[in-house]
Amino acid sequence: MTSLRVAPRETARAISVVVPVHNEAENLSELAAEVVAALRGKAVFEIVFVDDGSTDGTALELARLKALYPELRPVAHDRKSGQSIAVVTGARAARGETIVTIDGDGQNDPNFILELAQTLAAGRPQIGLVAGRRLGRKASGFKRLQSRIANAVRAAILRDGTSDTGCGLKAVPRDLFLQLPVFDGLHRFLPALVRREGYAIAQVDVIDRDRRHGVSKYGMWDRLWVGLMDLMGVWWLVRRRKCVPQVKELKADADRFVADDRELFAGRVRQ
């Protein structure tokens, strides 16, 4: 399979909505329509759906939706690689200056996409990421308890300035995203990795919704053990980055160098 190259910047669009999906065929039509309704006429945008090796009708549904919405750009993995790798694929394929990620199960409300992107633009260059913070989360009491514990542990160890890193709604500059290390679980630690690069984090309150179709792709043990190992790895990465220098190009002062050369030449002649 031909590897996906980074999209050329000369075709840049303002916002690239990146949507990783795996076996979400039943949710795609409603989600695509909602994203288009939320952004068309308000911003220049594209929707990059990344089919992460689905085995249902996801690929066929994306092809059908592509014919309906010119803003939609579906890409596909030849095998299941995980949500983080799907997000990275979407960012590499994206042509927008701003990446806004959103989950493919319909629980994230697309009406908040523009607010996240505008908040990021208003906070640049100090702000490097805007994260959604879910209100009225639609999940079982046990899952909410899991999230509270996980968020508390993560915040205590990483100090990433985010109270709800599990929300799929996030906005980040594409150029910055492509500088981050790539690993399975990346999407859960974007705030910590962006802070590691020297940027601040902002949050926007968003509304959580019920999943409309299908079932969650992640269970308790997936989140617990893999999350703990990833947490230690990100902690190590953060501690190893001691200083983030500001870089500028040095330009020659032509007049000064010409004067110095003349003085040097004159001195040699006198000698």
Position of tokens 């090796």? 53
Cα-only R_g, the chain: 23
Question: Alpha carbon 24 to chain centroid distance?
Answer: 20
Superfamily (CATH H level) for 9-270? Spore Coat Polysaccharide Biosynthesis Protein SpsA; Chain A (3.90.550.10)
**pLDDT grade for 192, boundaries at 50, 70 and 90:** confident
| Encoded tokens for 252 | 């020659």
Share of the chain above pLDDT 90, in %: 52
H helices of 70-112, in order, are 83-93
* 87 pLDDT more than 90: yes
Of residues 252 and 43, more confidence is placed in 43
Q: Where are the domains of the chain?
A: 9-270
3-state helix, strand, coil in the chain (%, to 5): 45, 20, 35
Cα gap 166→180, rounded to integer Å:
18
Element (H, E) at 220: helix 220-240
For the sheet with 200-207, list strands across it.
75-77, 45-52, 13-21, 96-101, 170-173, 127-135, 200-207
**Total-model pTM:** 0.74
Q: What is the reported pLDDT for 38?
A: 97
Instruction: Determine phi and psi for 255, rounding to 5 degrees.
Output: -60, -40
Asked whether residue 42 carries a pLDDT value surpassing 60, the answer given is yes
Rounded Cα gap, residues 117 and 129, in angstroms? 9
Q: What is the pLDDT of residues 124-164, one digit of tens each?
A: 999 999 999 988 655 555 555 555 656 566 555 656 667 66
